[in-house]
Structure 1
Amino acid sequence: MKAAVIDTYKQSMPKIKEVPIPDIRSNDVLVKIVAASINPIDIKTKDGGLKMLLSYDMPMIMGSDFAGIITVVGEKVTNFSVGDAVYGRVQKNRIGTFAEYIAVDQGDIALKPKNINFEEAASIPLVGLTSYQTLHDIMQIQPGEKVMIQGGSGGIGTIAIQIAKYLGAYVATTTSANNFDLVNSLGADYPINYQTTNFAEVLKDYDYVFDTRGGATLEDAFKIIKPGGKVVSIAGLPNYRFGKEYGVPLWKRLAFGIATRNLTKLEKQTQASYTFLFMKPSGAQLDILGHLIEAEIIKPVIDRIVPLTKVAEALSYSQSGRATGKIILQMTNDSEKEVRV
């Protein structure tokens, strides 16, 4: 099968190579991938930015989420059958969705929502699960509460806004003025032009902040959070508490604690909490998201669809930060698309 492969960390771009179709375990299904999506974590992984948390043997196939059709099921698989159209986010130690096939545990997939195509379905798993676990599981948003979502027109932001509104929140978000109409259409109540306005100067007393930027932007979140509020980041640094919860070795937890001393200080000063989220794959939560999509409460937002052979161009575009919604890699040609489920 064809796959986008890197041979070493910090390789400029992956190369398309022929590699063996993966073997499946007893709880796995083998999926013929129709489409996969590009996420910032793919670039961080390629560049070695997550080595403190995860390290991979090389060569490595890139990619974390996908949509496709099951071609083989393991002997212990009970929830799916050959021919099922599914979507999912693989476990972090089994990445490799920028390929024609993937072996994935049945617990990490769900049936594809019936009212969207494979490309749209592939755009959902990572950003949908990240947003749901942030807004529903950690923040536990209640109707009328206020949440600030960074980067409202990006892959995460476009889905997070919709989930936050479903949960009943008042939503502020940062984006460029050109994308105000988009984020308003998704439900944003207060779009802020990050190019001209610092959100920390116009917002106050927010219950929650969903940070997708890290750095100084993350620290600014504590300027608007109310006592008892929660700041959740997918772009900041893991702290000591995160390391303990995930069973990280003590030396790494201590390193996390030192690196996040300023965030710990800000927590104490504001009486708020800081959580670094490392999203967990969940077929059960994808099933929930699928029902919300079928009910037209959530809709995918796609910037562009490109063939696997142009993965380098797609990754470069992702790194530019100009994408509105998701960038999709397509594995099948147009003639195959006409007969898909």
Structure 2
Amino acid sequence: MKAIVINQYGGKDVLQESELEKPAIGDDQVLVEVHATSINPIDWKLREGYLKEMLPFEFPIILGWDVAGIIADTGKNVDSFKKGDRVFARPATTNRGTYAEYTAVDAHLLAKMPDEMSYADAAAIPLAGLTAWQCLVDFGKVKQGEKVLIHAGAGGVGIYAIQIAKSFGAEVVTTASEKNIEFLKSLGADRVINYKEEDFSEILQDVDFVLDSIGGDVQTSSYKVLKKNGKLVSIVSPPDEEEAKKHNVNAGFLWLEPNGEQLKKLADAYSAGNLKPVIGSTFKLGEEAIQEAHALSETHHARGKIVILVKE
């Protein structure tokens, strides 16, 4: 099968097209014929070697941890899915990811795609959508009427976080550049703060929950806008415990846990019209295309998701 691999850590040029054997599957796994995948920051952070201590993989490494496709084979213990099912998943984080024509996925991490869902939409949801869900629902326990601040609303996680928070009846404030203001309001944001012209920490107060996807000074300034006993969750850097304590804030760091049951809830939200993926760019599965897709992701200015179409 065709796959894009890395044989060493480095810049985007280490992404190379290769021919590999189809993955063997375990008794509790399925083999997915990949129709689409997507790019996430974890991909190029791992490629650069930033995560090699946390994820000490052997080379060659196939990057990519979003998948949408058709089940080509099932392990002997799998009875909830069958060959031919259209599925999507955030697979376990291994050195055999989804920049390939086939990938093995643990059955409990899968969800069936609704009939109306395209492979591109399905590939755009799992990692970013589950991250947003776990931040807002598992950590934040966001409820109707609460005020939520989502930083970088036009990013992959931010787009889903805005929609999920609105579906729970929260008041949603987000930060973005001027070009994304109307776009984010169309997703349901009640207020969009142009971070180039306004300091959110000087104009906001009584916020119940903050989703930090930037870190640094933005994370530090976020404490100022939170209510006493408010919540802050970061997906980029663990908050300082002493700083959080000083502000009487419950702060934590979230590293996504793949979860098929939660993915089913996101599929239901999609079918109900409460969750719409936003795809900013699409590429085909090829060496130069994947290199270009990584370069775009690394700018931090891509609106929405970058999707890789593996099969037309």
Q: TM-score scaled to structure 2, two decimals?
A: 0.96
Partner of 1:34: 35
Partner of 1:242: none
- The AA in structure 2 aligned to 1:76 is N
Partner of 2:172: 171
Partner of 2:256: 279
Please tell me whether residue 326 in structure 1 is matched to residue 305 in structure 2. Answer: yes
User: Can you list the C-alpha shifts for 1:247-300, whole angstroms capped at 9, x where unaligned?
Assistant: xxxxxxxxxxxxx6xx12211111112111011111111111101100111111
User: Can you list the C-alpha shifts for 1:88-146, whole angstroms capped at 9, x where unaligned?
Assistant: 00112355111110000001110012222000110000011101111011100111101
1:29–1:71 contact (8 Å) kept in structure 2: yes
Please tell me whether residue 215 in structure 1 is matched to residue 192 in structure 2. Answer: no
Partner of 2:203: 202
Structure 1 residue 11: deviation in Å?
4.1
Q: Tell me, in whole angstroms, the C-alpha distance in 2 between the residues paired with 1:201 and 1:54.
A: 39
- The AA in structure 1 aligned to 2:5 is V
Q: Tell me, in whole angstroms, the C-alpha distance in 1 between the residues paired with 2:193 and 2:134.
A: 24
1:154–1:325 contact (8 Å) kept in structure 2: yes
Identical columns (%) = 41
Partner of 1:317: 296
Structure 1 residue 10: deviation in Å?
2.5
Q: Secondary structure at the match of 2:137?
A: helix
Q: Secondary structure at the match of 2:94?
A: helix
Q: Secondary structure at the match of 1:43?
A: helix
Q: Tell me, in whole angstroms, the C-alpha distance in 1 between the residues paired with 2:244 and 2:78.
A: 45
Q: Tell me, in whole angstroms, the C-alpha distance in 1 between the residues paired with 2:52 and 2:6.
A: 15
Q: Tell me, in whole angstroms, the C-alpha distance in 1 between the residues paired with 2:47 and 2:192.
A: 33
Partner of 1:233: 234
Q: Tell me, in whole angstroms, the C-alpha distance in 1 between the residues paired with 2:44 and 2:76.
A: 35
1:293 corresponds to which of 261, 267, 270: 270
- The AA in structure 2 aligned to 1:227 is K
Partner of 2:139: 138
Partner of 1:339: none
1:113–1:121 contact (8 Å) kept in structure 2: no
Structure 1 residue 54: deviation in Å?
2.1
Please tell me whether residue 93 in structure 1 is matched to residue 72 in structure 2. Answer: no
Partner of 1:55: 56
- The AA in structure 2 aligned to 1:7 is N
1:146–1:206 contact (8 Å) kept in structure 2: yes
Q: May I ask how many residue pairs the two structures share in their alignment?
A: 309
Q: Tell me, in whole angstroms, the C-alpha distance in 1 between the residues paired with 2:271 and 2:301.
A: 29
Please tell me whether residue 268 in structure 1 is matched to residue 245 in structure 2. Answer: yes
1:64–1:95 contact (8 Å) kept in structure 2: no
In the alignment, structure 2 segments of 5+ residues that lack a partner are none
Structure 1 residue 33: deviation in Å?
0.3
- The AA in structure 2 aligned to 1:231 is L
The alpha-carbon distance between structure 1 residues 94 and 81, as it changes in their structure 2 partners (threshold 3 A), is: farther
User: Can you list the C-alpha shifts for 1:53-103, whole angstroms capped at 9, x where unaligned?
Assistant: 322111100100110000000000011000000000011235511111000
- The AA in structure 2 aligned to 1:6 is I
- The AA in structure 2 aligned to 1:324 is R
Q: Secondary structure at the match of 2:277?
A: coil
- Spell out the pairing of 1:103-118 with structure 2 (5 A cutoff): 103-118=104-119
User: Can you list the C-alpha shifts for 1:190-219, whole angstroms capped at 9, x where unaligned?
Assistant: 101112222112111211100111112111
The two structures, once aligned, show a CA RMSD in angstroms of 1.2
Q: Tell me, in whole angstroms, the C-alpha distance in 2 between the residues paired with 1:94 and 1:225.
A: 39
Q: Tell me, in whole angstroms, the C-alpha distance in 2 between the residues paired with 1:65 and 1:225.
A: 33
